[in-house]
Structure 1
Amino acid sequence: MNKDGTQVVNNQGGKWNGTNQYITVTKNNWTIWKDFNFNKGSSTKGMYQRTYRVTGWYRHYNGSKYLSVYDNKGKWLGYLNEGAAQIVNNQGGKWNGTNQYITVTKNNWTIWKDFNFNKGSSTKGMYQRTYRVTGWYRHYNGSKYLSVYDNKGKWLGYLNEGAAQIVNNQGGKWNGTNQYITVTKNNWTIWKDFNFNKGSSTKGMYQRTYRVTGWYRHYNGSKYLSVYDNKGKWLGYLNEGAAQIVNNQGGKWNGTNQYITVTKNNWTIWKDFNFNKGSSTKGMYQRTYRVTGWYRHFNGAKYLSLYDNNGKWQGYLNEGGAAKASGAQGTGFSMNKSVLVIKNGYSIWSGFNWKEKARTNSLINKTYQVKWYYKHMNGSTYYSLYESNGKWFGYVNSGAVRERRGVAHYLGTSRQRVLNELNAHQNDRFYLGTPFRLAGFSNPEMFLVPNGVSSPYGPGMNCTGFVATVTRRSGGNLNRISGITSGVGGYVNAYNWRDALMRNTEYYSFSSIDALLKSGKAQKGDLIYLEAMFTDPFYDCHIGIFWGNRSNENRFWHQVIDGNKISHIYSGTRYSKVYLFPQD
């Protein structure tokens, strides 16, 4: 240094000024000079936005200030015009403001408190979550550090960019997957985008299963699933809190304790949700099973997990193949038939809690109407019994009763055959006009001779003989009358018909002929029996065939004292009750 304050230097570069500073390169394509002859070194192209150490500088004769630059390995790079750089406070480098979002992709990296590398937290609790970045530094060590904030605006520290992925919006990073979920919340929103424009609601999706092709961990802390239906249609983004991830397309298991009755005859019972076939419902039809739980499959169907009464698992059945029941008795099936109690030792139940109401011992040969039957899980069938006045009586095991069918079924013919026989002769004298025969019952065949049949006995029938003749000529078996009664006269005694038919077929009783006609139950060809007024000195019964074209038409084909005729319904003596025996 001269006394006048000047220093002689070696070249145009000027005097060396030692320092210990850091710069961040801010120009993209400036030259790094090897010397002050301005021999070119490298370019700042590969150094842009990076931080370097400056050990000193020169103020050149050309007026510019040149920095002597070193990298983080201590290698001298050359002289850089200060206009291409910004001096920074520390090794961190220059602050670069931004407004971005990142998703943390590394599980156990350090969040730094400062660039003295004092440790803050770890990314362990931040993994796959999304955060806001307000700016970043390109450190002297070569790494880029992001200044990270959570969704509450709290600064978390500096994170090496290698631990994160920059994402397009607050939604965060896309994470592809191939999973299934079952929606477990009833009225959450499906979002169209991460501006939170509303799509649909989960109301119509509740307990149903959907496909998830990927998910986002949003800046707000929630995980959003990208949801598709079974047609491949994208539905939107759903907060994971509204769903449960499941193992397969079957969906979520929903435990229950219910009973069902199988209502389809040949559906498949599946072994699993790869739809490997198990058995068929063919052998399970109308039987009752226990359901311990169910799945709402991705295909939209609900599958029930079935067990039999021995606790053996049967498989999965589509709910469309069954009806829910209120208990182990199963669902009721409608029925309309009469039954006769034939066995002792059975209980009449007041309900399926097995509270006994009566025993069949005192009900033998009594008739009840069955309106419903149940196929119980215990394997038995139970009939719901009603008395003749329509009052419910109770439930009985079907093994205690025998069905009462119509007269035609019992005797082995049909209504149509009976009608065909009578229609063929309603306009001739085959039956009509046949004289009444009154004699002993020693030979029943004497009473089965209409005008149209040649017989050594000559024509003649009583009222029962007319009914018996029509039945026999229609293919009926009269031994079903005479073979089960001890009354005299066999099949030509109306009392025997009454006893046999009341014991084995369906019937209705009425207080009067008018009540019968108003009931709507009579059909052409049915048998009508008029019970005797037993208090009268010369009582008698009467039987014939209803011949009305309508249930309320008072027409009767019968045999009376003045011969065979079609007339209104009447008896030659007073009657006490009217019985209708339907043909079917």
Structure 2
Amino acid sequence: MFKKILLFSTILSTIGISNISIVNAKENQSTIVNDCSINFNSEWSKAKKEGYTKEQFNNIMSIPKQPIINSHNLMEKREMLSPQQSSVLNTAKKYLGVPYVWGGTSPSGFDCSGLVQYVYKEAINLSLPRVTTEQEKCGKDVSLNNLKVGDLLFWGDKNNTYHVAIYVGNGQYIHAPQPGETVKYGEIKYWKPDFARRVLPESSLSPIRCDNFMTIISNNTDCYTDKTLTKVKQSSKNLYQKTLHATNYIINNDGKKYYELYNNKKEFQGYLCESALKISDYGSAGSFISDDYYIKIHPKGNNAKIWKDLELKNSIGTAQDHVNEIYHVKGHYNNFNGYTYLSLYDSNDKWFGYVNRLDCLEVSSVLNDHHSYKKYGTIINTGFNIYKDTMLKKAISSTNKYLNKTVYIRGYYDAYDNHRYMSIFEEDKSDLDDGLKWIGYVDSDALKLSDLEGDSKEGVPFKQKPNTLVSVQKDNIAIWKDLNFTQQLGVIEKNHWYEIKNKYHHFNNDWYASIYDVNRQNGERTFIGYANMDALKIEEYNFGEYHPLKKMVIVAKKDTKYGLYTHQSLSADCMINNSLNMAGNTYYAQGYYDRIPTEDNKKGGRFYSIRESKDGKWLGYMRSTAFEPIK
């Protein structure tokens, strides 16, 4: 009678009559015919594509809809479950509500056998076949009167089943019914299976087969001698970060997995809890373990290889070709073969290859042999670290702090990164030995070395703008022959003006300038020595940038107000002529300046720098409006 009702419901659904409830009062069973939104022909096309027979399809489409089972209808009181049963039950419940999809095998959509296969693999790592006709052959037959949580329920004749569900106790099961529905609960009293199979081990301590390479990530977990987990074999400290082979695991009463581990010699290492290990990132090659140190290639034999891959199949050279070269170790892998392979990077931070740790020596310094130097230099570039250690890891400062400072370089080292590192010192008058205080190691690119040989402490020159004038602000300022202060040449007087060409940041931390006396009549400069900049004030004349001109001009103005000056100060004492006396004469204008007037000096505008001729004597500066070009 029930089969006739199912056939009738299918016909009604096909012709478009939906949501009709048909009740078999005698058997007190109920079914709700499928929603008319399901297109029979379309569904058959999808099912056929996934390999279903027409008979299986018809049976699946005829699965009766059961009354909705609410949470308060569920009988949650179940027999004491093993860890494996609990894992299957909880995993199956996690996918309630996932839509039915023909051939579906993932949480985006399941069919009945796809759900079963996925749940058992995730829950207890048990690999079941894909389809019901193969799944029904797994495990052993079990009476429908003696079902346990985790048993598989099948509908259809043996070798020709069309539906499978997971028994969850209390006469209930979880399954993926048919198109238009989702993974849900069902009850045997509404739709009884034809037979059942038990695929779970009878005992929770029965080993479950696996084949994984595991990395030990705990160093304080006990490893046990047998499945009872009562006797400790060793601590995971002895196995820490090693790669071992897991052949089986058991699920203990606490619900945790314990893996049976072996080394590459097939020696049993113990049962270890899942929380103390992880599946290796790269199989037998192990997992990446971060490092930060340096090694020198030092092969033990002539056949030591540099590997391109962790499978150790592709060699990119021999270690012999790189003897004593230094590389940066950023990580390593503890291979199942018992060896450790280092991941090396070269001086340009480019990956170099994998090398067996036995063919390397850890170095305590990336700086090679010390070379005596004993010269002075000046820090001219920012952004360089200053290190205290020979591994160049501990940056204690940067060149930003010491910019323009002159330092003493006692020696240098050529480092693994092909850079030269200087050992630099500053003056320390409190040091009674040599008056020096060590700063650290710095890249030579941060420095400019003094041009002078020997013990010159002046540092490098900082060139000043042409015609930079200074005025003396104090009386009796010493003028020196050199910046080692070997001879005082005299003094310069307050309020006197001089020209400077270079400034120097001396090793004693003071600034000094090279001083020139300027003949205001002919513009000649005479070097008179070095003076401390503390006593000097730079005078600004706002002459701006120099622009080349290179053309012959004639003086067209006859006026004393157009003076010829030998200095950019344009002061009266450096005016040596004027356009009244020079009118009608031709000169070579080699370039010009656009001068900005100031409150102290209103003489703004363009000024030519002129010579008697192209290769003749330089004469001075005159306002451009005094000239006309020669036509």
TM range (shorter): 0.3 to 0.5
TM-score of the superposed pair, with normalisation by structure 2: 0.35
Larger Rg: 1
Larger relative contact order, structure 1 or 2 (CA cutoff 8 Å, min sep 6):
1
TM-score of the superposed pair, with normalisation by structure 1: 0.37
